[in-house]
Structure 1
Amino acid sequence: MLKSVGYMENVEVFDVPGKGRGLRATKEVWAGDVLFAEPSFAAVVFDSMAEQVCHNCFRRQPKLHRCGQCKFAQYCNRTCQRAAWEEHKLECAAVKAFGKVPNENIRLAARILWRLDKEGGVVSDTQLTSLDDLENHVSDMTEEDLKDLKIDIHNFLDYWPHNSRQHKVEEISHILGVINCNGFSMSDQRGLNAVGVGLFPNLCLVNHDCWPNCTVILNNGNQTAVNTLFHTQRRIELRALGKISVGEELMVAYVDFLNVSSERKRLLKQQYFFDCTCKHCTEHIKDDLMLAGKEVDGKKASEEEVKEVMEYSLKMLEKIDKARTEGNYHEVVKICRECLEKQEQVLADTHIYMLRVLSTASEVLAYLQFMEEAATYARKMVEGYMKLYHPNNAALGMGTMRAGVTHWQAGLIEVGHSMICKAYAILMVTHGPTHPITKDLEAMRTQTEMELRLFQQNEYVYHSMREAALKNQPMSLRAEPVVEGIKNLFRRK
């Protein structure tokens, strides 16, 4: 075993043949147990989210207060601004002097180097690796990526203050390379959208498996209390998805499982520069389900039929993405309906192209308030997910939650309550009991349980009360649907 830089109670660093270093369990743990929690070494909000998200706690807020000095950083309130000042003060002066705001990679690299200059590469007893020891994969980059890296280095040198310690190009290149292949996407308080990127040294030691035994969740902490003594730190938590024995390597999925093995391998090679040799990729497990044709009375759709509908589906998915990007949601629904009509004749309910269309259709229809149709598609989507995903996969939990809420909004209380309970059981493992999503689900579970009891006692009274409630307080529009959910926790280019 390699000598650890720091010490953690539940994990240790060790040599993994063919992979370099990894982490393994030093204690037996069970589903939902937290193996370790780690604050970011440094983190920044994405360029595109700079005016929508607090730069301290990464929460989305309708009204933010701008930093009076640099006019760039935005905060929930004075409390968040004071809490962020230690990390922001050098950035604040640099942005003012530079006259503009550099991109998120440069801002994150600068924050990392300022912290390295002040505290060194290991900032706590629980940090298991220094930043110097992390892989940067600069030598593996394509010519196009190297061009982008050189531009970032050039802009970094223009941005970096003359009164700060000067760094060699190799050091800057290393940090930018580490960010590229180790940066972790950070979500807002609801865990639904990526809003920033951070670096977590211990997390960088956890290797990939397409069917992992752990998951990573961001806990935004509580930094809204006026008294800083009651603040809790923003951190990631590595949580067990099932029983993990002493000595077992800890693994997370760098890419979403809902791709055939060849596509997952391509994505991993492109972004993380390694060939995946996990069992699911080597043995192509579940690839057949993801590309399966429909079977009726023991007779399967022919390969030619499946191939034809797959080619058609790809074209339609491009049209769906275009209409969605333009905000033309009625057109999105129209294309989805046409596509599903063809797919349902030929493709199995686990085919990934059908699941993608079902996901989009259910989300957009719910946004447009066509709840019953949205619920139908959402249920089909979840049924497919359950045959493909790990039973404690966060994407399965989120999909089931969305389907449950959609059924409830459509007045389908029995199915809605059942799905909400299933989602709650999954998210208790993947997110834990204190996460805002889990708390919301717990409240929803209690509410639907009460409604279900009333429904079972007197169905007529239930429907009358519900109808009256909806008339008196119309259901508000849901938030505009977004293309990316939390399926890919690790950052992609």
Structure 2
Amino acid sequence: MDPVEVFSAGEKGRGLRVTKEISAGEVVFAEASFAAVVFDSLSLQVCHSCFRRKVNPHRCAQCKFAHYCDRTCQRAAWDEHEQECSAIKKIGQAPNENVRLVARILWRIQKDTGLVSDAQLTTLDLLDDHLSELSSEDLKDLKVDVQHFYNYWPKNSKPVGEDYVAHLFGMVNCNGFTLSDQRGLQAVGVGLFPNLCLVNHDCWPNCTVILNPGNQTALDTSLHSKRRIELRALGKISEGEELTISYVDFLNVSKDRQQLLKKKYYFDCKCEHCISGIRDDLMTAVRDTHGHQSSADVVKAVTDFSLQALVKIEEARTEGNFHEVLKLCHECLEKQDPVFGDTNLHLLRVLSIISEVLCFMHQFGEAAGYAQRVLDGYTKLYPPNTAQLGMAIMRAAVTHWHAGLIETAHSLVCRAYAILIITHGAQHPITRDLEAMRTQTEKELRLFKQNESVYHSMRETVLSH
């Protein structure tokens, strides 16, 4: 923790700043989770120790709830899981993820106190809970969670006051960090990282946070990497500059981002992009054809149609009715294309969905065209070194690769790698995947340039098998 220090950030409260210059891609600090749990909905598919997705994971024979990659991961998790296992077994089922996380936090506090290492810059008691700002509906939900906690908390454990339990629930609600799987493609759990809680929000941040699952292959669990996040610099950060991350996706107009931040994190965002509405015009862009734009009434009608269509599209996708998804997307694009600009968020959301579904249905040639349109829009909207942009470029690269468009595919792989080497680092599984893709596409591109017909013939032979 040498390069950072806590300081007073004015209206934002406490913050972290660097005590030396940091370069792009440099790890400002890494932090193991104080406590973390897998989401209820994924408890059968994700290892409760390393948070990797796993086919047919090993189940805990005692509680029958926790699942692991294998017995090695299970042994590594036993210190965390032991009391949880007994509690779940006693009541016959596991409570929701918030209750499980608060219980794990309390067991950790009772064992190690709230300050577990010299590198921890704050105690849990000092983290905000914002209970005084909860709505009446949220307070009712909080009381239900507190009651469920007491039903779950073992009677022989050290008693805990209701006010302190409520404080922990409030703290988790506004400080919990969502954890992704080993490929960074899906949120699979939530954890608490005290130092990360001190990093304030900015819609155009200078840092990003990733979960690095590390190495969990050693049979000796003492050699395993702890479940940890890494705070990485997106560009050069000058000495004394505040560290910031984005709590929400930038792809929302400033008003919507501000509302979301106020509802979830209880503060008014006053960053430059929100105050000045930077890129809002691009996100709501209207197509200009030879100096002519659609009227405000037409734009509103197509916007309303898009919002209703996106609800139907999501319902069809959830049901697995992909032909209906494609039909709805095509109908929506027919109305959107003459009216919306290429960076309009409603248009980009439909383009992203149709590209994804076409890939699932192995219609890669058509999917590649939509993926390129998404990428062109994202490039104009996102900051240059952003994990979301890097992942979007990688998905487009894979789509073009499957479509046989090897020149574009290799170019996109290289472009994605240049971003993700900064946001994820060379040792992250997703960066290693990209490195392997880069090597393979480079070989195929060399063959393609030597003889296109031989390349396509070999490709068809491989695909037929």
Could you state the TM-score of these two structures normalised by the residue count of structure 2? Answer: 0.99
Contact (CA 8 Å) 2:254, 2:280: kept in 1 or not?
Answer: yes
Are 2:458 and 1:433 aligned? no
Cα-to-partner distance string for 1:269-293 (whole Å, 9 max, x where unaligned): 0000000000000000000010010
SS of 2:16 mapped into structure 1 = strand
Residue equivalent to 1:93: 86
Are 2:214 and 1:216 aligned? no
Contact (CA 8 Å) 2:24, 2:236: kept in 1 or not?
Answer: yes
User: Of residues 120, 124, 141 in structure 2, which corresponds to 1:127?
Assistant: 120
Residue equivalent to 2:323: 330
User: Of residues 19, 33, 52 in structure 1, which corresponds to 2:12?
Assistant: 19
Are 2:401 and 1:412 aligned? no
Are 2:453 and 1:471 aligned? no
Are 2:342 and 1:377 aligned? no
**For the residues of structure 1 that align with 2:335 and 2:280, how far apart are their CA atoms?**
21
**For the residues of structure 2 that align with 1:161 and 1:65, how far apart are their CA atoms?**
26
**For the residues of structure 2 that align with 1:297 and 1:390, how far apart are their CA atoms?**
30
Residue equivalent to 2:199: 206
- CA drift of 1:228 comes to 2.5
**For the residues of structure 2 that align with 1:303 and 1:400, how far apart are their CA atoms?**
33
Give the AA of the match of 1:279. Answer: E
Residue equivalent to 1:243: 236
User: Of residues 249, 267, 280 in structure 2, which corresponds to 1:274?
Assistant: 267
Contact (CA 8 Å) 1:137, 1:177: kept in 2 or not?
Answer: yes
Residue equivalent to 2:310: 317
- CA drift of 1:134 comes to 0.1
Cα-to-partner distance string for 1:414-470 (whole Å, 9 max, x where unaligned): 111111111111111111111111111111111111111111111111111111111
Are 2:59 and 1:66 aligned? yes
Give the AA of the match of 1:407. Answer: H
User: Of residues 434, 438, 441 in structure 2, which corresponds to 1:448?
Assistant: 441
Residue equivalent to 1:389: 382
Residue equivalent to 1:486: none
**For the residues of structure 2 that align with 1:465 and 1:407, how far apart are their CA atoms?**
17
- CA drift of 1:298 comes to 3.2
Give the AA of the match of 2:189. Answer: G
Contact (CA 8 Å) 2:73, 2:221: kept in 1 or not?
Answer: no
SS of 1:37 mapped into structure 2 = strand
Residue equivalent to 2:291: 298
Residue equivalent to 2:334: 341
**For the residues of structure 2 that align with 1:89 and 1:252, how far apart are their CA atoms?**
34
Give the AA of the match of 1:122. Answer: L
**For the residues of structure 2 that align with 1:57 and 1:416, how far apart are their CA atoms?**
32
User: Of residues 182, 196, 213 in structure 2, which corresponds to 1:189?
Assistant: 182
- CA drift of 1:224 comes to 2.6
Contact (CA 8 Å) 2:214, 2:428: kept in 1 or not?
Answer: no
Residue equivalent to 1:162: 155
Give the AA of the match of 2:447. Answer: L
Residue equivalent to 2:167: 174
Cα-to-partner distance string for 1:323-349 (whole Å, 9 max, x where unaligned): 111111111111111111221111000
**For the residues of structure 2 that align with 1:370 and 1:127, how far apart are their CA atoms?**
50
**For the residues of structure 2 that align with 1:337 and 1:103, how far apart are their CA atoms?**
39
Cα-to-partner distance string for 1:203-245 (whole Å, 9 max, x where unaligned): 0000000000000000112223112243111100000000000
SS of 1:319 mapped into structure 2 = helix
**For the residues of structure 2 that align with 1:114 and 1:14, how far apart are their CA atoms?**
30
**For the residues of structure 1 that align with 2:101 and 2:221, how far apart are their CA atoms?**
25
- CA drift of 1:76 comes to 1.1
- CA drift of 1:393 comes to 1.0
**For the residues of structure 1 that align with 2:293 and 2:206, how far apart are their CA atoms?**
34
Once superposed, what is the RMSD of the aligned Cα atoms? 0.9
Residue equivalent to 2:28: 35
- CA drift of 1:68 comes to 1.4
SS of 2:232 mapped into structure 1 = strand
SS of 1:295 mapped into structure 2 = coil
Of residues 313-322 and 127-136 in structure 1, the stretch that sits farther from structure 2 once superposed is 313-322
**For the residues of structure 1 that align with 2:169 and 2:291, how far apart are their CA atoms?**
55
Return structure 1 stretches of 4+ with deviation > 4 angstroms: none
Give the AA of the match of 2:275. Answer: T
**For the residues of structure 2 that align with 1:295 and 1:413, how far apart are their CA atoms?**
33
Of residues 216-225 and 369-378 in structure 1, the stretch that sits farther from structure 2 once superposed is 216-225
SS of 1:60 mapped into structure 2 = coil
Where structure 1 has 5 or more consecutive residues not aligned to the other structure, the ranges are 1-7, 473-493
SS of 2:7 mapped into structure 1 = strand
Cα-to-partner distance string for 1:73-97 (whole Å, 9 max, x where unaligned): 1111111111000000011111112
**For the residues of structure 1 that align with 2:117 and 2:47, how far apart are their CA atoms?**
26
Residue equivalent to 2:348: 355
SS of 2:110 mapped into structure 1 = helix
Residue equivalent to 1:488: none
Contact (CA 8 Å) 2:122, 2:194: kept in 1 or not?
Answer: yes
**For the residues of structure 2 that align with 1:86 and 1:106, how far apart are their CA atoms?**
18
Give the AA of the match of 2:262. Answer: K
Where structure 2 has 5 or more consecutive residues not aligned to the other structure, the ranges are none
**For the residues of structure 2 that align with 1:305 and 1:186, how far apart are their CA atoms?**
41
**For the residues of structure 2 that align with 1:56 and 1:240, how far apart are their CA atoms?**
27
Are 2:257 and 1:264 aligned? yes
Give the AA of the match of 2:28. Answer: L
Of residues 78-87 and 292-301 in structure 1, the stretch that sits farther from structure 2 once superposed is 292-301
Give the AA of the match of 1:348. Answer: G
Give the AA of the match of 1:385. Answer: Y
Give the AA of the match of 2:390. Answer: G
**For the residues of structure 2 that align with 1:286 and 1:96, how far apart are their CA atoms?**
52
Contact (CA 8 Å) 1:401, 1:420: kept in 2 or not?
Answer: yes
**For the residues of structure 1 that align with 2:361 and 2:453, how far apart are their CA atoms?**
27
Residue equivalent to 1:117: 110
Q: How many pairs does the alignment contain?
A: 465
Residue equivalent to 1:146: 139
**For the residues of structure 1 that align with 2:127 and 2:151, how far apart are their CA atoms?**
26
SS of 1:350 mapped into structure 2 = coil
Residue equivalent to 2:227: 234
Equivalent runs, 1:68-83 vs 2, <5 Å:
68-83=61-76
